[in-house]
Chains A and B, each alone.
Chain A
Amino acid sequence: KNQVEQSPQSLIILEGKNCTLQCNYTVSPFSNLRWYKQDTGRGPVSLTIMTFSENTKSNGRYTATLDADTKQSSLHITASQLSDSASYICVVSAAGTYKYIFGTGTRLKVLA
């Protein structure tokens, strides 16, 4: 069964600190993996996409990694800001389909 699991479920950090969010997937055949940010009361917005051949990709203070062998991805946030408070959702696409498998998200709260 295609599944995406994220950890931790929630996380509280102080402003300026770094954090890492985890995503494990069992989707086959794998096409790509995206991280989305969802602010409270808003729709998710894509942060980055990882394809099979990519190991690391950065988008400002966000850095995503992918290990296709272990089927794990991480999202590292550097020098967190209050505006990083949101839910972060890992989404995996299976090759040959137009469907997406969503994780349940990690809720991040950044405190001043």
Chain B
Amino acid sequence: DAGITQSPRHKVTETGTPVTLRCHQTENHRYMYWYRQDPGHGLRLIHYSYGVKDTDKGEVSDGYSVSRSKTEDFLLTLESATSSQTSVYFCAIRGASGSLDTGELFFGEGSRLTVL
């Protein structure tokens, strides 16, 4: 158990409303990621973070923003949700054993977002 919690797990919202998904970790890992998973696509990177206040864009970052003000929390925000952002969102952390980077990704349980 890598100690990753995503919230909310399920959300239904309307087009144009803002939505924030939260990823919380208890392991103090440096790297955190947000992915979306859609049928017919592999997991696609939205944004990732390599430390507090250090973030970078992934391949599908348009329409999304992130923030990381504390090591343990990585927030994903949809400023104005659209139907194309209906998806399952996964947070992941890059594992480490002590100071050794294992490179293994540990995933949260996912947040299912429906935009009507």
* Chain A residues with a Cβ under 8 A of chain B: 4, 31-32, 34, 36, 41-46, 49, 89, 91, 93, 98-105
The residue on A at minimum CB distance from B90 is A43
Chain A residue numbers with a CB within 8 Å of B41 are: 104
Find out whether the CB atom of A42 lies under 8 angstroms from the CB atom of B105: no
The residue on B at minimum CB distance from A87 is B37
- CA distance in complex: A100, B58 (Å): 11
- CA distance in complex: A104, B42 (Å): 4
In the complex, the 5 A-B pairs of residues with the closest C-beta atoms, listed nearest first: A43-B107, A102-B42, A102-B43, A104-B42, A44-B107
6 interchain pairs, CB-CB under 8 A: A32-B103, A49-B104, A89-B42, A100-B105, A102-B43, A103-B42
Find out whether the CB atom of A91 lies under 8 angstroms from the CB atom of B105: yes
The residue on A at minimum CB distance from B94 is A98
